[in-house]
Amino acid sequence: MCGIVGYVGHREAFPIIIKGLQRLEYRGYDSSGVALLNGKINVYKKQGKVADLLAFSEDKDTVSSLGIGHTRWATHGVPNDVNAHPHTSQSKTIALIHNGIIENYDSIKEELSKRGHTFESDTDTEVLTHLIEEVQKKERVSLFEAVRLSLAEVIGAYAIAVIEESNTNEIIVAKKGSPLVIGVGENEFFLASDATPIIEYTKNVVYLEDGEIARLKIGEEMELKTIENVEKTPYIQELELNLEAIEKGGYEHFMLKEIFEQPKSIADSMRGRLDSKTAEVKLGGLAEYEQKIINADRIIIIACGTSWHAGLIGEYLFEDLARIPVEVEYASEFRYRNPIITEKDVVLAISQSGETADTLAAMKLAKDKGATVLGICNVVGSSIARLSDAGSYTHAGPEIGVASTKAFTAQVTVLTLMALMLGRKKGTIAESYYRELISEIETIPAKVESMIGMNDYIKELSAKFKDALNFLYLGRGYNFPVALEGALKLKEISYIHAEGYPAAEMKHGPIALIDENMPIVVIATKKGHYEKVVSNIQEVKARNGIVIAVVTKGDTAVKEIADYVIEIPEVAEPLVPILSNIPLQLLSYHIAVMRDCNVDQPRNLAKSVTVE
Ligand code: G6P
């Protein structure tokens, strides 16, 4: 987590860094800071959001054309001014920002303490800054070389940027395990955790690889090498991102913008992948691996958070349509469980950011054990995308709101296409049913659009529940993961405790919680165990629970017993989750706004979780 930005060139660095940090706040926002070089290194740091740093810096000297900045998600040390980055060396002449964790910081700290170093913060990062200075003094080498030698002693993950007082036109950057992009302008360099802070200045970027270190020096070409001192040639590529996609565009929040964008993002995730004449699904990135997947003993889906919920829907889809056994694993559990993986397994990682540390580590483990590793990612060029043997991008566009919405529906869309493709190739799905699903999936964007039209109604409904203390979400079959995702969305942005449950499991526990104050969202769409879910609603009503039911348009039975209903358009069962999830996103959004919560940056969360 954490976001880093840097600039060296002919422009004012401070505004570039502040703007960049604001774009990266999704990566962490408990404190932030800048180090600006202007004769000496000025460091300004503040607990809170980047806006707090900006206010704090108002009367400070911010003139500089070289600087680095950081927005933090605390790992080592509480979020306060002192623990905020940048950190400086013993002599205060070296400053550093860091995204990641230095795992062996304790032993390095002990060594350095013996040599007279004193530390101000509780962070692992400060230790690295001191180490670099120590190495530089001892070996009498340049900053570039000192950083390289120091990193050879470090265990852990990092994306770092380092500056020193005597070097007025140079920033040293390095990466292992955390993302880092370098923007190459005309006689200027930018650096950031992702491309969003860079996009308006240059489209030419270099994505640093793990174990690489670079010198960004004005008047010189970028110098790139590995930590082991092997020279490399930087590969400059052109960014495809556009500025509009990362701005709010008149919406109050990114989350609302992203919910409303779904008709387009879902269409984008299908674009070019459906042949209208042959009804064939083409997932170019997977073409070479189709047979391998079809012949796999099983597909193991690994993911975290909302992506894990998409994976659960994938399980229903693959088993139902392609008859391939599926296991869905939390990446964080999988990686430490000594799992049984063979060469006949296909491991499918799902990740919006493509940077989630646990998912990456789980993929590496699966690769080491010989499995084929595929990826479904939203961020092009991300670490997970690069580590996969093959994969499909979701093409949902940048998702800025920390709570995932459009990336989730795009993931489910891609999983659906994949299941359809495999099912047809394997012959496990009747051609008539296949064609029915293909023509229905094409109607999804328009159906989602019609549901966005229910926004005002859902807002009214939200007002009735904004003060609830608990929520229960129930669903069966394809709608069970939707219930889990609905509950997650509500708790992460409104801080209302919410639980998702398979509807039938309610009687084994959650039913004890039901009373006249408990709102229960039941996804009771037609087909998919409809009658059983209706019985579950009866059980809730018998205990005076308040039922908000998500039903198929035209439903009568549930309408009679539920307190409130939200109608979704009729669609084939495997496609229901994409639709039934939309009203739950809106419900969470409006409840959170009414509770004055920061929906785009909920407390303690971050969008890209690059620590385990
Ligand atoms: C964080 C985010 C979630 C996301 C999860 C997995 O917890 O706040 O929205 O679902 O990480 O992230 P990924 O980028 O791998 O999908």
Instruction: Quote the pLDDT of residue 67.
Output: 98
Of the residues 488, 607, 610, 612, which should be mutated to test ligand 1's pocket, given the most ligand atoms within 8 Å of the CB?
Answer: 607
Of the residues 27, 348, 404, 601, which should be mutated to test ligand 1's pocket, given the most ligand atoms within 8 Å of the CB?
Answer: 404
- How far is the centre of ligand 1, averaged over its atoms, from the C-alpha of 139 (Å)? 42
Pairing mode, if any, of strands 326-330 and 223-226? Answer: unpaired
SS3 339: coil
Q: What is the pTM of this model?
A: 0.84
Instruction: Pull the structure tokens for residue 13.
Output: 């660095």
- How far is the centre of ligand 1, averaged over its atoms, from the C-alpha of 10 (Å)? 37
Does ligand 1 come within 6 angstroms of the Cβ of 529?
no
Task: Tell me the DSSP string of 560-606.
Answer: HH-SEEEEE----GGGHHHHHHHHHHHHHHHHHHHTT--SSS-TT--
How far apart are the C-alpha atoms of 603 and 609, rounded to whole Å? Answer: 14
Counting DSSP H helices and E strands in the chain, the numbers are: 20, 25
Index of the ligand 1 atom closest to the CA of residue 606: 8
- How far is the centre of ligand 1, averaged over its atoms, from the C-alpha of 609 (Å)? 7
Does ligand 1 come within 6 angstroms of the Cβ of 410?
no
Of the residues 485, 488, 609, 610, which should be mutated to test ligand 1's pocket, given the most ligand atoms within 8 Å of the CB?
Answer: 609
pLDDT tens per residue across span 352-361:
999 999 999 9
Does ligand 1 come within 6 angstroms of the Cβ of 310?
no
- How far is the centre of ligand 1, averaged over its atoms, from the C-alpha of 68 (Å)? 26
Instruction: Quote the pLDDT of residue 531.
Output: 84
pLDDT tens per residue across span 240-288:
877 878 888 889 999 999 999 999 999 999 999 998 789 999 999 999 9
Instruction: Quote the pLDDT of residue 527.
Output: 77
How far apart are the C-alpha atoms of 300 and 344, rounded to whole Å? Answer: 11
Structural domains of the chain ordered from first start: 3-245 (3.60.20.10), 251-442 (3.40.50.10490)
Does ligand 1 come within 6 angstroms of the Cβ of 307?
yes
Of the residues 306, 359, 378, 598, which should be mutated to test ligand 1's pocket, given the most ligand atoms within 8 Å of the CB?
Answer: 306
How far apart are the C-alpha atoms of 292 and 11, rounded to whole Å? Answer: 52
How far apart are the C-alpha atoms of 500 and 540, rounded to whole Å? Answer: 15
How far apart are the C-alpha atoms of 142 and 147, rounded to whole Å? Answer: 9
- How far is the centre of ligand 1, averaged over its atoms, from the C-alpha of 608 (Å)? 6
Does ligand 1 come within 6 angstroms of the Cβ of 196?
no
Instruction: Quote the pLDDT of residue 511.
Output: 87
Instruction: Quote the pLDDT of residue 453.
Output: 94
Residues of the chain where predicted confidence (pLDDT) is lower than 50:
none
Index of the ligand 1 atom closest to the CA of residue 306: 10
Q: Put residue 323 in one of left, alpha, beta given phi > 0 → left and psi -120 to 50 → alpha.
A: left
Residue 18: name the closest of 138, 203, 197 by CA. Answer: 197
Does ligand 1 come within 6 angstroms of the Cβ of 356?
yes
Residues 6+ apart with CB under 8 A from 526: 551, 552, 555, 570
What's the number of CA atoms in the CB half-sphere (13 Å) around residue 504? 8
- How far is the centre of ligand 1, averaged over its atoms, from the C-alpha of 460 (Å)? 29
Does ligand 1 come within 6 angstroms of the Cβ of 304?
yes
The three-state DSSP-derived secondary structure of 227-276 is: CCCCEECCCCEECCCCHHHHCCCCCCCHHHHHHHCHHHHHHHHHCCCECC
Instruction: Quote the pLDDT of residue 260.
Output: 97
Instruction: Quote the pLDDT of residue 507.
Output: 86
State the burial class of residue 211 (Cβ atoms within 10 Å of its Cβ: 0-12, 13-18, 19+): middle
What is the set of active-site residues? 2, 607
